[in-house]
Amino acid sequence: MFDLSDLETLVSQRATSGDPASYTAQLAARGLPKAAQKLGEEAIETVIAALGEDRAALTGEAADLLYHLMVVLHLRGVPLADILAELERRTRRTGLEEKAARTPAA
């Protein structure tokens, strides 16, 4: 089954392909600010879809969001493995414990 690791590999290959038919290559060539802007747009579109009734629309927007996140991570040189390692580290405590650890004591 296709997973985020496969998407990471695909994005990396297409971003450096130089293929004029590649959206990923075009977006990478426009640079990090443009890719980050697209990521923000897709995040907002995902929020809007999440608040609507259309499950297919949310699925599509979430896919756009994950794709654009992969492009930004590629451009910043942050591997998916680092994100997964951070998520694994967080499994050692609850979300509320994590939140408390981030919030300075008043």
Do the Cβ atoms of 46 and 62 come closer than 8 Å?
Answer: yes
Position 23 contacts ligand PRT (CB under 6 A): yes
Measuring CA to CA, which residue among 33, 2, 28 is closest to residue 14?
28
Instruction: Looking at residues 65 to 84 of the shown chain, list those that interact with ligand PRT (rule: CB under 6 A).
Output: 67
**Residue with the two structure tokens 């995902």:** 46
| Nearer to ligand PRT (CB atom), residue 36 or residue 98 | 36
Joined tokens for residue 18 = 């130089």
Candidate residues 8, 24, 69, 75; the one interacting with ligand PRT per rule CB under 6 A = 24
Which residues contact ligand PRT (rule: CB under 6 A)? 10, 14, 22-25, 27, 38, 41, 63-64, 67
